[in-house]
Chains A and B, each alone.
Chain A
Amino acid sequence: MLRRTHRGVAIIAASALSLSLAGIGALSSSASATGTDGVTNTSITIGATVPLSGIASTGYSDVAKTANAVFKYINAKGGVNGRKVNFIIKDDCYDIQALGCAQPQTSGSLTVAQTNALINTSGGLFATVGSLGTATQDAVRSLLNSDHIPQLFVNSGSTDWNDPSHYSGLFGWQTDYIAEGKILANYIKSNLAGKKLGFIGQDDDFGANGLLGLQRGGLSIPNMGGTNSFAYPATDAVFDLSFPTTLATLKANAVKVVVLDAVPPAVTLILKDAAKIGYYPQWVISGVGSDPQTVNYANLSKTNPGEMNAVSMTFFPYSTDTTNAWNKWIAKVILADKADFPKFTSKSILSGNMQYGAGWAVTFLQLLKAMGSNVTRANAVSTLEHSAVSNAFATPAVLPLQYSPTNHQGLGGGLLVKIVSNTNTTQIDGKVYSTNDAANGAITQKAFVNAAVPSWLN
Chain B
Amino acid sequence: MKITQILLRLRYSSLGRLVLALLGTVVAICVVLLVSAQSDTYIANAGAMTIAILGLSLLTGWSGQVSIGNSGFMAVGAFTTGIWANHHQSSPIIISLLLSILTGAIAGLLVGIPATRLKGPYLAGMTLAFVTAMVPFIQSLGKLTGGSGGLFFANLSSPSWFANLSGDPQNFIVANYRWAATVSVVITGVACYFMSNLFASRAGRAMRLVRDNDVAAELMGVNLGRVRVGAFVISAAYAGLAGSLVALLSGVARADNFGLALSIEILSLLVLGGIGTLSGALMAGLLAAYASTLIAKLNALFGLNPYSNLGSNSQGIIFGLLLVVTMLTAPQGMAGLLKKISHLRARKEAE
B147: interface (CB < 8 Å): yes
Interface centre among A10, A119, A203 (most CB of B within 10 A): A10
A339 CA to B307 CA in the complex, in Å? 9
Interface centre among A19, A25, A141 (most CB of B within 10 A): A25
Q: Shortest CB–CB separation between residue B252 and chain A, in angstroms?
A: 4
B13: interface (CB < 8 Å): no
- Residue from the list B260, B288, B306 in contact with A104, Cβ < 8 A: B288
Contact present for B291 and A104 (CB under 8 Å): yes
A61 CA to B313 CA in the complex, in Å? 13
> B167-206 vs A: 1/0 string, CB under 8 Å?
0100101100100000000000000000000000000000
B residues in contact with A22, CB < 8 Å: 31, 35, 39, 42-43
Known: A6-B339, A8-B5, A97-B259. A15 touches B136 (CB 8 A): no
Q: Shortest CB–CB separation between residue A53 and chain B, in angstroms?
A: 5
- Residue from the list A5, A101, A234 in contact with B342, Cβ < 8 A: A5
- Residue from the list A107, A147, A339, A342 in contact with B246, Cβ < 8 A: A107
Nearest CB to that of B342 among chain A residues?
A9
Contact present for B174 and A6 (CB under 8 Å): no
B residues in contact with A116, CB < 8 Å: 38, 41, 177
B residues in contact with A2, CB < 8 Å: 343, 346
Contact present for A52 and B251 (CB under 8 Å): no
Chain-A contact segment, one of B100-108, B117-125, B278-286? B278-286
B312: interface (CB < 8 Å): yes
B83: interface (CB < 8 Å): no
B residues in contact with A141, CB < 8 Å: 152
Contact present for A24 and B313 (CB under 8 Å): no
Contact present for B307 and A135 (CB under 8 Å): no
Contact present for A25 and B5 (CB under 8 Å): no
B329: interface (CB < 8 Å): no
From 334 to 349 in chain B, residues with beta carbon under 8 angstroms from any chain A beta carbon are 335, 338-339, 341-343, 345-346
> Which secondary structure dominates chain A's binding surface?
helix
A25 CA to B292 CA in the complex, in Å? 12
A residues in contact with B246, CB < 8 Å: 107-108
A8 CA to B11 CA in the complex, in Å? 9
> B284-328 vs A: 1/0 string, CB under 8 Å?
001011111101000000000111100011111001000000000
A397 CA to B265 CA in the complex, in Å? 43
From 1 to 58 in chain A, residues with beta carbon under 8 angstroms from any chain B beta carbon are 2, 4-15, 17-19, 21-26, 28-35, 52-53
- Residue from the list A96, A108, A120 in contact with B249, Cβ < 8 A: A108
A112: interface (CB < 8 Å): yes
- Residue from the list B256, B314, B346 in contact with A96, Cβ < 8 A: B256
Chain-A contact segment, one of B45-53, B212-220, B228-236? B45-53
Contact present for A30 and B36 (CB under 8 Å): yes
Known: A102-B313, A142-B154. A97 touches B261 (CB 8 A): yes
Known: A8-B5, A12-B4, A113-B45. A120 touches B36 (CB 8 A): yes
- Residue from the list B35, B177, B315 in contact with A26, Cβ < 8 A: B35
Contact present for A107 and B168 (CB under 8 Å): no
Q: Shortest CB–CB separation between residue B254 and chain A, in angstroms?
A: 6
B residues in contact with A180, CB < 8 Å: none
A28 CA to B339 CA in the complex, in Å? 31
Interface centre among A28, A29, A113, A116 (most CB of B within 10 A): A116
A240: interface (CB < 8 Å): no
Contact present for B37 and A120 (CB under 8 Å): yes
B14: interface (CB < 8 Å): no
A449: interface (CB < 8 Å): no
- Residue from the list A8, A24, A102, A120 in contact with B4, Cβ < 8 A: A8
Q: Shortest CB–CB separation between residue A443 and chain B, in angstroms?
A: 29
Interface size class on chain A is: 35 or more
- Residue from the list A103, A108, A203, A342 in contact with B247, Cβ < 8 A: A108
Interface size class on chain B is: 35 or more
A68 CA to B312 CA in the complex, in Å? 15
A89: interface (CB < 8 Å): yes
B225: interface (CB < 8 Å): no
Q: Shortest CB–CB separation between residue B232 and chain A, in angstroms?
A: 20
B residues in contact with A52, CB < 8 Å: 307, 312
Known: A14-B282, A142-B155. A9 touches B338 (CB 8 A): yes
- Residue from the list B7, B41, B148, B252 in contact with A234, Cβ < 8 A: B148
A204: interface (CB < 8 Å): yes
A241 CA to B175 CA in the complex, in Å? 48
Known: A9-B4, A14-B279, A31-B36. A340 touches B260 (CB 8 A): no
A28 CA to B36 CA in the complex, in Å? 9
Contact present for B152 and A10 (CB under 8 Å): no
B residues in contact with A31, CB < 8 Å: 36
Contact present for B173 and A147 (CB under 8 Å): yes
B residues in contact with A110, CB < 8 Å: 257
Contact present for A5 and B8 (CB under 8 Å): yes
B74: interface (CB < 8 Å): yes
A53 CA to B314 CA in the complex, in Å? 11
A95: interface (CB < 8 Å): yes
Contact present for B150 and A139 (CB under 8 Å): yes
A99: interface (CB < 8 Å): yes
Contact present for A340 and B35 (CB under 8 Å): no
Known: A14-B279, A97-B259, A99-B261. A135 touches B148 (CB 8 A): yes
9 contacts between A and B (CB under 8 A): A9-B341, A14-B283, A22-B39, A61-B307, A104-B288, A110-B257, A112-B252, A139-B254, A340-B308
11 additional A-B pairs beyond A6-B343, A107-B257, beta carbons within 8 Å, are A8-B7, A9-B342, A14-B283, A29-B37, A32-B174, A53-B316, A68-B307, A95-B254, A96-B256, A107-B258, A340-B307
Give the 7 A-B residue pairs with the shortest CB-CB distance, closest first. A25-B39, A120-B38, A135-B149, A108-B246, A112-B250, A9-B342, A105-B265
